[in-house]
Structure 1
Amino acid sequence: MDSTWFRRFGAAREGAVRLVCFPHAGGAASAFIPLSRALGEHVDVLAVQYPGRQDRRREEPYRSVDAHADALAEAMVPLTDEPYAFFGHSMGAVLAYETARRLVAAGRPGPCRVFLSGRGAPSPLPSPHDRLGSDTEILRAVRGLGGTGHAVLDDPELLAMVMPALRADYGALGAYRWSGGVPLAAPVTVLIGDADPVVAVDEAAAWHDHTSGDFELRILPGGHFYLDDRTDEVRDIITDGLLVAGSTA
């Protein structure tokens, strides 16, 4: 396992399906500590640590979704010899999708299931919520989503630490264009909060067109970061989805 890219919160779970989790814009691997604990011994959770945050804060963050997905796919190659699944939230959903596409295109085994959370399906045009041209707009958007603690946003020193990653991530999302291609063969589960201010249900449902496998849309109570309060429900959706994926593999 590449210790640069992946974090495991607890002991390795031998024989369990590996779930690789991709954080949101500005987020870090630690965002998945609660989910990792909730999944317990049934799933081996690896959280992706993007450059430019936490213990990788001295590294330059990626400013392109394509370049970021290229690097993630390369880091994933040694992990594809055993069954694995992806879970991506918000920006992480885009990176999970694009990383899966690259692995399959390179002839590697694809994920047995892909969980895409808090994000509408990709299209040739960027979401207006991604096109943020200033720090003021970024901070307004982040505060509206509620995913970053106000203690961080209100502390000048902490804010200075997280802003480079936020600028890079939102810049990458604003420049991202889906250019078509073969749908994923893996079954896809899409999760969304019913009060998400930036992702409508029909936008989330449009992921159906990006897989030739089974598709499931799960709508949970909450906003963009519904999973902070619905960890147990998300755990059950994941374990059920992986059970079905395993039985049909």
Structure 2
Amino acid sequence: MNSISKNKWVQFESKQNVNLRLFCLPYAGGSASIYRLWQQKMPENIQVCKIQLPGRENRINEQAIDSMEVLIQILVKQLLSYFDKPFVLFGHSMGAMIVYELARYLTNYTSYTPLHIFVSACRTPNIAELKTTYHLPNDEFINSLRQRGGTNEILLNNKEYMQMIEPTLRADLKLIEQWHHNDIDKLNCPITIFGGLNDTLVSPFILKQWRQYTNNVFKLKLFKGGHFFINDPSVNIASIVANTLK
């Protein structure tokens, strides 16, 4: 079912008796459609709100945002009207970075705070990205995407497609690679961390460092697979999130 929202940032299905909203943010180059089947996995009282960032799918003609600070400022304004219900946040990789920064901003500067956040396949902000790729020449940039994984080889070899999506990918990777600060702002909500046992980008050791970012319950769940285990139907992350929220 298509979104009934007039807000191009938020997609959701119409539901009765909603008392909890789950906001989902995508990984680099990803879109709201990553979470298209998640509503089916949720209890009746939970509404999945998929965040559609500029520069992808129905927003492909818009410029992607490459600054975390700017993105958070805009996101807060777009989402405030949806915080009339209790809410939780989920993000994978880049989406998890956004989730933490959004929760941090809301906690520090507003009266709204998430009940729970899910951080999937993401380093902590005090660990700097040692390798930057967003500025590389075309061929080197595409090769770096190949090494990173998550992008179909057929698409990487499709020059028309890559020409269309490359500005968004570069913006996303700039946001990821420049995200770093040593301040440890503890959240008051529980944090559940998801990770891939074979993830070469974010190791289980790094994931354990998230424990210091909450005053509440911390849980770490590891799954078979690499950085994009979220796309493996056998892992079924949506059902695990649903069971946690029950």
Q: Same fold (TM over 0.5)?
A: yes
**For residues 189 and 225 of structure 1, do their structure 2 counterparts lie closer, same or farther at Cα, with a shift above 3 Å needed?**
same
Q: Deviations over 1:183-203 (max 9, x none)?
A: 111100000111111001111
Residue in structure 2 matching 1:5, options 4, 9, 24: 9
Gaps of 5+ in 1: 244-249
Aligned twin of 2:110: 107
Residue in structure 2 matching 1:153, options 153, 156, 168: 156
Paired residues in the alignment total 241
Q: Deviations over 1:143-193 (max 9, x none)?
A: 234322223222111111110111011112222222415311110000011
**For residues 152 and 14 of structure 1, do their structure 2 counterparts lie closer, same or farther at Cα, with a shift above 3 Å needed?**
farther
In terms of mean alpha carbon deviation, does 85-94 or 99-108 score higher? 99-108
Residue in structure 2 matching 1:242, options 237, 241, 245: 245
Higher relative contact order (CA 8 A, sep 6+): 1
Gaps of 5+ in 2: none
CA contact (8 A) 2:184 2:212 kept: no
In terms of mean alpha carbon deviation, does 102-111 or 207-216 score higher? 102-111
CA contact (8 A) 2:19 2:85 kept: no
**For residues 100 and 137 of structure 1, do their structure 2 counterparts lie closer, same or farther at Cα, with a shift above 3 Å needed?**
farther
User: Helix, strand or coil for the counterpart of 2:161?
Assistant: helix
- Cα distance in 2 for partners of 1:12, 1:145 equals 38
Map 1:1-249 onto structure 2 (within 5 A): 3-8=7-12, 10-12=13-15, 14-39=17-42, 41=44, 43-123=46-126, 125-134=127-136, 135-230=138-233, 233-243=236-246
- Which amino acid in structure 1 is aligned with residue 129 of structure 2? S
* Alignment RMSD: 2.0
Q: Deviations over 1:210-243 (max 9, x none)?
A: 1111000000011111111146642332123213
Return the TM-score normalized by structure 2. 0.89
Report percent identity of matched pairs.
28
CA drift at 1:86 = 0.4
- Which amino acid in structure 1 is aligned with residue 9 of structure 2? W
CA contact (8 A) 2:18 2:44 kept: no
| Structure with greater proportional helix content | 1
CA contact (8 A) 1:73 1:100 kept: no
CA drift at 1:24 = 0.4
